[in-house]
Amino acid sequence: MWEYSDKVREHFFNPRNSGPLKDANGIGDVGSIQCGDALRLMLKVDEQSEIIEDAHFQTFGCGSAIASSSALTEIIKGMTLTQALEVSNQNIADYLDGLPPEKMHCSVMGREALQAAIANYRGEEWSDDHEEGALICKCFAVDAVKIADVVNANQLNTVEEVTFYTKAGGGCTACHEGIEEILAGIKAERAGPGEVSPPPLAAALTAAPLAPANASTVLVHAPTVAVSTPTAAVSAPPARRTLVQKIRKIEEVLESVRPMLQRDHGDVELADVQGKTIYVTLKGACSGCMMEVATLGGIQQKMIEALGELVKVLPVSHMPVEA
């Protein structure tokens, strides 16, 4: 289970400014219920001073999405629109005393909703419908422009981090190669001509000891990169597992997520393991649920971390039928 700060819990159980906002003159809608997260941010802006007098939200998503949206409304009330546009997704996470890396996409969604609401107030076009960039992740409808923007804004280095911040790559993993190409291009730009960009792990380990005590971004993310990035390990890689050992580890992961699913009257069971593809059976309320892709994506991320290799987690219905 993910660890949440007391402030995240507080904003989840007692969200501020939730519900419709009367006389809102700036409304931003982002995400989609089909993809698992959706957020509507409503602003009441004074037309003379362009100060945000009030802000409300409505969201469909997890506890982190509710907490991030609640925090955002508290942050921006009293700001001018220009000041509000400077609010980053990291500001939202910091306000909540941090978010689990796997839930940073909730703060990114809040930032996008704010941009959309301000654009709506100003009568400008704002779109996340992939007109600017090619669609990279079809599972969660994330395009190249959004990935590049989030990578640059948060200094991301790995596919895993991109998944945490955008959900891209958290489904079928078919887009991992496209994400890696975007990362490689951005790393080359960061390095500059005649320089060599340091590998993500080395950069994280080098930066961590020098970070000041309030540098929450480094303190939160450096350990994640060092521990869980499958392409680079701190120490020598473990000996290759036998199939039986691999299945045991997979069962351990499923056992760890089972209580969470059972609370929602669902369950999951291992069906088969074929190479790097793990087939599972979703049961009860999880079977046929509109959140199936998100559920499988979360399980897959835990499998990658536990096994130390890139694997796919698919429903048993996708398993090839033997001739």
What amino acid positions are annotated as catalytic residues? 35, 106
Measure the CA–CA gap between 27 and 36, rounded to whole angstroms: 20
Q: Which two tokens stand for residue 235?
A: 């120490």
Reported residue count of the chain is: 323
Q: Which helix (H) or strand (E) holds 89?
A: helix 89-95
Residue 284's region, left for phi above 0, alpha for psi from -120 to 50, else beta, is left
Backbone phi and psi for residue 315, each to the nearest 5 degrees, phi listed first:
-70, 155
Print burial letters for 274-288: b (CB count within 10 Å at least 16), e (below 16).
eeeebbbbbeeebee
Q: Which two tokens stand for residue 1?
A: 């289970």
